[in-house]
Amino acid sequence: MTLVPPPLSLYVHMPWCVRKCPYCDFNSHGLRGTPDYPAYVDALLADLDADLRDFGDAAHGRPIETVFFGGGTPSLFSPELVGRFLDGARERLPFVDAAEITLETNPGTVEHGRFDGYLAAGVNRISFGVQSFDDDKLRRLGRIHSSTEATDAVRQAQDAGIGNINVDLMYALPEQSLEGALDDVERAIALRPTHVSHYQLTLEPNTAFAANPPPLPDDDAAWAIQEACEARLASAGFGQYEVSAYARPGRRCAHNLNYWRFGDYLGIGAGAHGKISDAAGVRRRWKTRLPAAYLAAAGRPARIGGDNRVAADDLPFEYMLNALRLIDGVPATDFAERTGLPAASIAGARESCIARGWLVDDPDQLKTTPLGQRFLNDVIEAFMA
C-alpha cells in the first residue's frame, strides 16, 4: 500500500541552557561562556538546505504547517536571530497561512519587552517551562526562575499581544502533596493561558536525579494527584486531548498533534530528530548531539548522527506509541495511510487489547478506554514486533 504524505512540520533545536536541570535528559548543554548564536543560525539554515537536497521530493516544496523551537532554552536567542531563521526557512519552503510557530521559553531568561520582538519575528505561540509555582520545588528541580518571575513572564507575553500561551507544569515532585500540586494548577489557571501541559516527573537514565533519586510520591499518590488535577483543569475549561496536554477550545498544539498523528517533520539543529515519509516507507534521521561538532559540520554529512528506514515490523509499535496518547484516538484508516501497512497487520493485537478492555470496540477508531489510558504502556507494548 502507498503511503499518503502526511502534514509536514519543522522542529528546530536550540541546545544551550543557563544550567542543566537534574531531571533533564534532553540534549541540552549548560552555558560556558557565550555561544556564537549567529553562527548557529547559519548552521541551522545550512542543515535545512542539506536535508532538502537529501530528501528531494519527499520534503522539498511541501508546505510547513507548524514550527517548534525547542531546547535547551530557545529564548537565549534574540528575536532578531529567530526572525532571521524564519525568514530563511520561508525562502526555502512554503508556509501555510497562519502557521503555528512556537518558542519554548524559560521564565528566567526573558527580558522585559522582548516578547513583542518575538511576535514581530513571526512567533505566535509561547511555551513557558514553569514546572511549579512553589519556590522550594523550583529550587529542588534546579530551575533558575522564581514563581514571581514565572507569573511576570506570562503576563509580559500577554501584554505584548501573544494570545496563544502554554504553561508547562510537572507533578509528583519531591515530597509534593496533593494540595501542593493542585495549588500549582490553580495558579496556572489564574494566568489564563490557552494550554497547559501537565506531566509527571520521572527519573530518566543518565540524569542527576537518577544517580541520586529525591523522595518522590509513590504510584498511588501520583495517580491521585493526576486525577485531581485533571478534574480541576476540566472544570476550568481545559479539555484533555492527550495524556499530558490540556487546551481551551481551538487551542490544541498543532505541532504536537502532528507528532501524535504520525505526521512528518524535518528536525534541524544539534541532536534534532526528524521523520519523513516517501515511496520507500518511513525514514528517521537525527543530528549529531554536541553543539561544537554540529557547528563544525555545518551543512555537511558529518552533521548527521544517524539515518535509517523504520522496519515494517516496527511500524505498528511506533505508530501506536504516538497515536494512542490521544484521548479521542484516531480514525482507523489513518494507520494504513501513515504506515503503508494493511489493517490486518495489527488485527490480532487490536483484538487482544479490546478483549482486555484497553481499546474501544469500534472498527472505525483506534482509541483507548479509560482503563487503557491508565495502562497505556501495556497497550502500546501489545503492538511490538
Question: Per residue in 148-205, pLDDT tens?
Answer: 999 999 999 999 999 999 999 999 999 999 999 999 999 999 999 999 999 999 989 9
Per DSSP, 19 falls in state S
- Residue 103: alpha-carbon gap to chain centroid: 11
Identify which of 59, 150, 158 has the alpha carbon closest to the alpha carbon of residue 109.
150
Instruction: Tell me the DSSP string of 311-343.
Output: PGGGHHHHHHHHHTTBTT-EETHHHHHHH---G
Residue 385: the pLDDT is 83
Residue 268: the pLDDT is 98
Which amino acid is located at 311 in the chain? Answer: A
Domains and CATH numbers, the chain: 8-258 (3.20.20.70), 315-381 (1.10.10)
Q: How far is CA 41 from CA 10, 88, 114, 199, 304, in A?
A: 15, 10, 19, 31, 17
Question: Using one digit for the tens of pLDDT, what is the confidence trace for 24-43?
Answer: 888 888 888 889 999 999 99
Contact 29, 60 (CB under 8 A): no
pLDDT range class, residue 113, cuts 50, 70, 90: low
pLDDT above 90 covers what percent of the chain? 89
DSSP helix/strand/coil, 196: strand
pLDDT range class, residue 1, cuts 50, 70, 90: low
Mean of the pLDDT values across residues 89-99?
97
DSSP helix/strand/coil, 26: coil
Residue 62 grid cell: 511541501
Q: How far is CA 282 from CA 6, 52, 269, 323, 340, in A?
A: 11, 16, 21, 16, 9
Confidence (pTM): 0.95
Question: Using one digit for the tens of pLDDT, what is the confidence trace for 207-226?
Answer: 999 898 999 999 999 999 99
d(CA 336, CA 370): 25
pLDDT range class, residue 110, cuts 50, 70, 90: confident
Question: Using one digit for the tens of pLDDT, what is the confidence trace for 115-150?
Answer: 999 999 999 999 999 999 999 999 999 999 999 999
Length of the chain: 385
Contact 335, 361 (CB under 8 A): no
Mean of the pLDDT values across residues 286-293?
97
Which amino acid is located at 97 in the chain? Answer: D
Residue 339 pLDDT greater than 80, yes or no? yes
Residue 373: the pLDDT is 93
What b/e sequence results for 242-251 when a residue is b if at least 16 CB atoms lie within 10 Å of its CB, and e otherwise?
Answer: bbbbbbbeeb
Mean of the pLDDT values across residues 64-78?
95
Residue 109: the pLDDT is 77
Residue 341 pLDDT greater than 90, yes or no? yes
Identify which of 252, 295, 239, 247 has the alpha carbon closest to the alpha carbon of residue 271.
295
Residue 240 grid cell: 484533555
Residue 347 pLDDT greater than 70, yes or no? yes
Largest distance between two CA atoms of the chain: 58
What average pLDDT does the chain have? Answer: 95
User: Which residues pair with residue 226 across a beta bridge?
Assistant: none
Residue 344 pLDDT greater than 80, yes or no? yes
